C-alpha cells in the first residue's frame, strides 16, 4: 500500500517544530501547514519519560512530516496543543499505510 492515501488526510494542521530551550523558554521553528487526519478522543498515553498523561487528540500525518515531541500543533478547531508523542508507523514494504501518529495534550 505504501504511504497513507492523500484522500484520508482531510484536515490541515499548523506545526511549529520544537527546536529546544533557550534562556527565555522553548523555541520553535516557523509554522508549517500540513495535511492530516485529526481524531479528537481522550485517552491515556505514555510520554517520553514513560509517565502516563492524558492525550486529547491524535493527528495522522505523512511519514515524512517532521513533528518532534514538545512541538506546537494548531488543529482545525483552532486549539493549539503540545506534542506528547510522535511515532512513525512504517510497514517495511508490507501493504500497510505508512504514516506518523502524533498525540497532543
pLDDT in tens, 41-88: 999 999 888 899 999 999 999 999 999 999 999 999 999 999 999 999
Strand pairing category for 72-74 and 80-89: antiparallel
The DSSP string of 14-27 is EEE-EEEEETTEEE
* Nearest alpha carbon to residue 72 among 25, 14, 22, 11: 14
List the chain domain ranges. Answer: 2-104
Instruction: Say if CB 41 and CB 18 are below 8 A apart.
Output: no
Q: Which CATH number fits domain 2-104: 2.40.10, 2.60.40, 3.30.420, 3.30.70?
A: 2.40.10
> Quick check: pTM over 0.85?
yes
Amino acid at each position: 500500500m505504501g504511504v497513507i492515501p492523500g484522500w484520508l488526510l482531510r484536515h490541515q494542521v499548523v506545526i511549529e517544530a520544537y527546536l529546544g530551550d533557550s534562556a527565555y523558554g522553548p523555541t520553535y521553528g516557523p509554522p508549517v501547514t500540513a495535511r492530516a487526519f485529526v481524531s479528537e478522543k481522550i485517552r491515556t498515553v505514555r510520554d517520553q519519560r514513560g509517565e502516563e498523561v492524558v492525550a486529547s487528540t491524535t493527528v495522522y500525518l505523512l511519514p515524512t512530516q517532521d513533528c518532534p515531541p514538545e512541538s506546537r500543533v494548531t488543529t482545525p478547531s483552532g486549539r493549539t496543543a503540545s506534542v506528547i508523542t510522535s511515532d512513525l508507523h512504517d510497514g517495511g514494504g508490507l501493504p500497510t499505510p505508512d504514516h506518523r501518529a502524533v498525540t497532543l495534550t
